[in-house]
Structure 1
Amino acid sequence: MTGTSETRRAGGRDRDAEGRARNARPRDGLGRPLPYGEAGVERAPEGVVRRPVRTVAEAQALLDAGRPFHAHEVFEDAWKSGPEEERGLWRGLAQLAVGLTHAARGNATGGARLLRRGAGAVEEWTATTGRPRPYDLDLAEVIRWARELAAVVESGDERVDAARESPRLRGGAG
């Protein structure tokens, strides 16, 4: 959703066309809500069913642009719409994107925790399925990146630059 034209205000809350609560405030690149009327970044549409290769490409583009919160939404769509046996993979990748989001917002504790949790989920999925490179994802590299970034985030009190610290999902091929 990119604006209030797709939502309506009911009882002081934004609602989508089906009446579900849906925050229509514009958001910045890290997903933080901005005041109504301010210019925000375009939001990733929710509930989109994509092929896995498209999911990876869209998420990588968002990560490269310093928009890990929005990449998380793309991974979340794959997690919720994909085959049951892949949900752990997509959920773990979504957690990594949220961890980077928290780290970039200055939340070192939450960022490190989610980076480690996501790395663990991806590692567990890889071990369980025996698939270290599904959809050309370099999961070993992604896991290494997450754990190293978690240690960096915990060691300092500075926010990380989300674009500069974003992972290479395909091991440099992006």
Structure 2
Amino acid sequence: MGEAGGSSGRSARTRDRDVAGRARNARPRDGLGRPLPYGAEGVARQPEGVVRTPSQSVAEAQELLDAGKPFHAHEVFEDAWKSGPKGERALWRGLAQLAVGLTHAARGNATGGARLLRRGAGALREWTARAGEPRPYGMDPAGLAAWAVGLAERVEGGAADVDARAEAPRLRGGS
């Protein structure tokens, strides 16, 4: 049978699995979450399923955004979305969509990036209107939504080479 994965020796039927036996891609990733060849040196991945306080989630995601790692920030927001109170899931999902939208824009995927940025902006606006909470955990959802729409418009307008670090929003205190 042929080999998959280059020189890694993995057969076409072998799948990467985590300690619980779930399929997980173990390929290393770059700072924007793109898979690299097996054996390459990548960026440490965010652990999945970590339960953080909302303030810890915001602080950790901001550090990752500031480091130009929006894909990794998306994973932090996804953990908050999955583990947080049901009434806040739309907030965290919207933030995750902003981070992954920035990821796609920085990867050069203008269509996907703009679509996710707009979707995340809409989710934040809807959550704020429904929850009546203008600044959850010190964040500014309205400002983040405006940032996302502005970046989506620039990306759709042909903005070249989106730098994830330079474009990173400020989660607290304006974007």
TM-score under structure 2 length normalisation: 0.91
Alignment of 1:70-149 (within 5 A): 70-149=72-151
Q: Deviations over 1:22-53 (max 9, x none)?
A: 01111000000111111101111110000000
Residue in structure 1 matching 2:49, options 47, 50, 58 = 47
Q: What's the CA shift for 1:142?
A: 0.5
Note if contact 1:29-1:41 (Cα within 8 Å) is conserved in structure 2: yes
Which residue pairs with 1:13 in the alignment? 15
Tell me: CA distance 1:10–1:48, structure 2 relative to 1, closer, same or farther (3 Å). Answer: farther
- Report SS of the residue matched to 1:15: coil
Which residue pairs with 1:3 in the alignment? none
Q: 2:138 & 2:14 partners in 1: Cα distance?
A: 45
Corresponding letter in the other structure for 1:49: V
Corresponding position: 1:59 with 2:65: no
Aligned Cα RMSD in Å? 1.7
Q: 2:28 & 2:97 partners in 1: Cα distance?
A: 23
TM-score under structure 1 length normalisation: 0.92
Alignment of 1:157-168 (within 5 A): 158-168=160-170
**Bigger shift: residues 155-164 or 108-117:** 155-164
Q: Deviations over 1:92-117 (max 9, x none)?
A: 00000000000000000000000000
Q: 2:147 & 2:25 partners in 1: Cα distance?
A: 32
Corresponding letter in the other structure for 1:44: Q
- Report SS of the residue matched to 2:167: coil
Q: Deviations over 1:111-159 (max 9, x none)?
A: 0000000000011000000001010001111111001000001001523
Tell me: CA distance 1:145–1:157, structure 2 relative to 1, closer, same or farther (3 Å). Answer: closer
For structure 1, the 5+ residue unaligned runs are 1-8
- Report SS of the residue matched to 2:96: helix
Q: 1:113 & 1:106 partners in 2: Cα distance?
A: 13
Corresponding letter in the other structure for 1:32: R
Corresponding letter in the other structure for 1:122: L
Corresponding letter in the other structure for 2:90: G
Q: 2:170 & 2:119 partners in 1: Cα distance?
A: 18
Which residue pairs with 2:70 in the alignment? 68
Q: What's the CA shift for 1:83?
A: 0.3
For structure 2, the 5+ residue unaligned runs are 1-10
